[in-house]
């Protein structure tokens, strides 16, 4: 019941055109089922094994979002299951996903992760790398992926104005790349977590990824 109340509260703060991904990593299947039973269908996982285990036993209409750092040797576990992979941070990973999708005769939806934060620990491509990727039409080398947009994380423990600025930078980049890339499916801007999602929505997010608020603290 606790989880269902949290979702009801959250839903009041999220406009209908913004997708809510319930980040269920490190939480049990029972927690996901509670959220599922009040209508949630988008769930986020960060580890290939955990995703595989959960997807096997939970309803098939769940849209699984892969949001963790993905090693190339785990790609084959994730590609057949994932609705959207948010965390593509290198061309090498993009190539591995493309090859795996081709082998499985499918098109894999991905977001490119952008490094907008100050912390050195955060993954992601640089703004320059991404701009070059699209202006040189590099994406044509990956016919079995659909690049559906961008993902980013703000600096941990930043103040409000810095976080806002980082999200604003990402939104501006998104619009610029959308203009260059001009594919109709390039329309997702994944930004905002428990501590900063209201700001992210104000700055143009189309998809928030929220774990702690819904499911409580994770036990690692
Ligand atoms: C874990 C995680 C989240 C959820 O974070 P909360 O603070 O628990 O809402 C969102 N995005 C990514 C990429 C994550 O790894």
pLDDT digits (tens, 9 = 90+) for 30-74: 999 999 999 999 999 999 999 999 999 999 999 999 999 999 999
**Parallel/antiparallel/unpaired status of strands 84-88 and 19-23:** unpaired
CB 191 within 8 A of CB 152: yes
pLDDT for the residue numbered 156: 87
DSSP state at residue 94: H
pLDDT at site 48: 98
Q: Among 6, 22, 211, 216, name the best residue to mutate to test ligand 1's pocket (greatest count of ligand atoms within 8 A of Cβ).
A: 211
- Measured by CA distance, the residue closest to atom 10 of ligand 1 is 209
- So what's the pLDDT on residue 117? 81
Domains defined for the chain, CATH in brackets: 2-215 (3.20.20.10)
Report how far apart, in Å, the C-alpha atoms of 161 and of each of 14, 102, 155, 157, 174 are. 21, 43, 11, 12, 20
pLDDT at 121 over 80: no
Q: What's the mean pLDDT in 160-186? A: 96
Atom in ligand 1 nearest the alpha carbon of residue 209: 10
Share of the chain above pLDDT 90, in %: 93
The neighbour count for residue 151, using CB atoms within 10 Å, is 28
* Closest ligand 1 atom to 86 CA: 13
| Choice from 26, 31, 44 to test ligand 1 binding pocket (greatest atom count within 8 A of CB) | 44
**What is the per-residue pLDDT across 123-160, written as a single tens digit (0 to 9) for each?**
899 999 999 999 999 999 999 999 999 999 999 889 99
Ligand 1 atom closest to the Cα of residue 218 is: 8
Q: What does the alpha-carbon distance between residue 189 and residue 195 come to, in Å, rounded to a whole number?
A: 17
Helix (H, G, I), strand (E, B) or coil at 210: strand
* φ/ψ (deg, to 5) at 210: -125, 120
CB of 209 sitting under 6 A from ligand 1: yes
pLDDT tens per residue, range 71-97: 999 999 999 999 999 999 999 999 999
* pLDDT score, position 72: 97
Please indicate whether residue 145, judged by its CB atom, sits closer than 6 Å to ligand 1.
Answer: no
CA of 64 to the centre of ligand 1 (A): 14
pLDDT tier at 219, thresholds 50, 70, 90:
confident
Does any ligand 1 atom lie closer than 6 A to the CB of residue 200?
no
Task: Indicate whether residue 46 lines ligand 1 (CB < 6 A).
Answer: yes
Say how far apart CA 91 and CA 147 lie, in whole Å: 12
173 lines ligand 1 (CB under 6 A): no
CA of 210 to the centre of ligand 1 (A): 6
Query: In the chain, how long is the greatest CA-to-CA distance?
Result: 51
Q: SS3 for 123-192, per residue?
A: CCECHHHHHHHHHCCHHHHCCCEEEEEEEECCCCCCCHHHHHHHHHHHHHHHHHHHHHHCCCCCCEEECC
What pLDDT does 144 receive? 98
pLDDT computed for residue 119 by the predictor: 76
Cα 198 to ligand 1 centre (Å): 14
**Is the per-residue pLDDT at 1 higher than 70?**
no
pLDDT value, residue 150: 98
């Amino acid at each position: 019941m606790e989880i269902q109340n949290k979702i009801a509260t959250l839903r009041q703060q999220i406009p209908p055109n913004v997708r809510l991904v319930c980040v269920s990593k490190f939480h049990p299947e029972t927690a996901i089922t509670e959220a599922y039973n009040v209508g949630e269908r988008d769930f986020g996982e960060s580890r290939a094994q955990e995703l595989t285990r959960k997807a096997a036993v939970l309803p098939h209409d769940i849209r699984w979002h892969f949001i963790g750092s993905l090693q190339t040797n785990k790609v084959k576990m994730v590609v057949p299951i994932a609705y959207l992979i948010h965390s593509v941070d290198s061309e090498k990973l993009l190539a591995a996903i493309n090859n795996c999708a081709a082998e499985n005769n499918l098109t894999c939806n991905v977001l490119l992760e952008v490094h907008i934060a100050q912390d050195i620990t955060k993954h992601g491509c640089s703004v320059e790398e991404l701009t070059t990727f699209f202006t040189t039409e590099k994406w044509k080398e990956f016919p079995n992926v659909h690049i559906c947009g961008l993902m980013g994380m703000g600096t941990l423990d930043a103040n409000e104005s810095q976080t806002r600025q980082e999200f604003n930078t990402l939104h501006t980049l998104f619009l610029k790349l959308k203009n260059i890339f001009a594919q109709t499916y390039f329309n997702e801007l994944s930004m905002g977590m428990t501590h900063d999602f209201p700001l992210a929505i104000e700055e143009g997010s189309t998809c928030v990824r929220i774990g702690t608020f819904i499911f409580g603290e994770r036990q690692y």
